[in-house]
Structure 1
Amino acid sequence: MIVSTAKAQRGALLILALTLLLAASQFITKSWAAGAIAVGKCGAYGQAFDYPAEDAARIAALKQCKGQCTAVTMKRACAALAIDLKNPCGAHGYAVKPKISSSLNAATRKCYEFGGKECVIRAWACDARG
């Protein structure tokens, strides 16, 4: 079977275009894969995800949080915050894990460990990967 030069060139160009598209999508996903969750008193929180850098995500999350807050950053992961429903100003817990289910479970567990009686998820965020 003989393939014409024109068909071979078109096939090569198609493969090159698909390769470049795949490479570009990987670059975008990896470069926008930072996030943060800010935690404050009485259930205050802020969240940011899919930022180009962890510092930018941390600043964005802190801007959303009311009062004195601290931020936890994540890269290609998920973060969650759990508070005590009966006493929002009391016990809370937060966690950063590779998958959303793990971060939700860990945050809730931490809330109970710190004395929470009815711990519920207040906020969560995942970046590009999580």
Structure 2
Amino acid sequence: MVSTAVARRRALFVLAFTLVVGASRLITESRAAGAFAIGKCGAYGQAYDYAAESAAVAAALKQCNGECKTVTMKRSCAAFSVDMANPCGAHGYAVKPHISSSLNEATRECYKFGGKECVIRAWACDAKG
């Protein structure tokens, strides 16, 4: 038979453990927004593990030179591929749940738009990717 004091200690331990696990999950999930800014001639900017999507977009745009468009990612991975034979020509990008699929898709997109020597220029995963 378990005494009341021991049962209370166990219950408090379980409660504290649950709160710690829950808090760590919230912290990780709250920092799970990212963005890529993609510009001409291989220009790019990247930001990941931001608390808000808007902050990630702003950080990525700040790193990108020229007119850049943004692609957001949330608990995923993004990749950007450029044709090294003509860096101002074809490029491709992808946002997928796993890094391998985003790398493959970005390269495929670059070749699809006429790239001859497509290579990954940049990639990033956020907290859950």
Instruction: Give me the identity figure in percent.
Output: 72
For structure 1, the residue ranges without an aligned partner over 5 or more in a row are none
Q: RMSD between aligned alpha carbons?
A: 0.9
Cα deviation for residue 95 of structure 1 reads: 0.7
Deviations 1:28-82 (A, max 9, x none): 1221111000101111110000111111100100001111111111111111000
- Matched to 2:34, the amino acid is G
Q: Does 1:20 align with 2:19?
A: yes
- Matched to 2:38, the amino acid is V
Match of 2:95 in 1: 96
Match of 2:43 in 1: 44
Match of 1:67 in 2: 66
In structure 1, how many angstroms separate the alpha carbons of the residues matched to 2:6 and 2:62? Answer: 56
| SS of structure 2 residue aligned to 1:95 | strand
Match of 2:56 in 1: 57
- Matched to 2:10, the amino acid is G
- Matched to 2:66, the amino acid is G
In structure 1, how many angstroms separate the alpha carbons of the residues matched to 2:111 and 2:21? Answer: 44
How many equivalent residue pairs?
A: 129
Q: Does 1:114 align with 2:113?
A: yes
Q: Where does structure 1 differ by over 6 angstroms across 4 or more consecutive aligned residues?
A: none
Task: Calculate the TM-score normalised by the size of structure 1.
Answer: 0.95
- Matched to 1:125, the amino acid is A
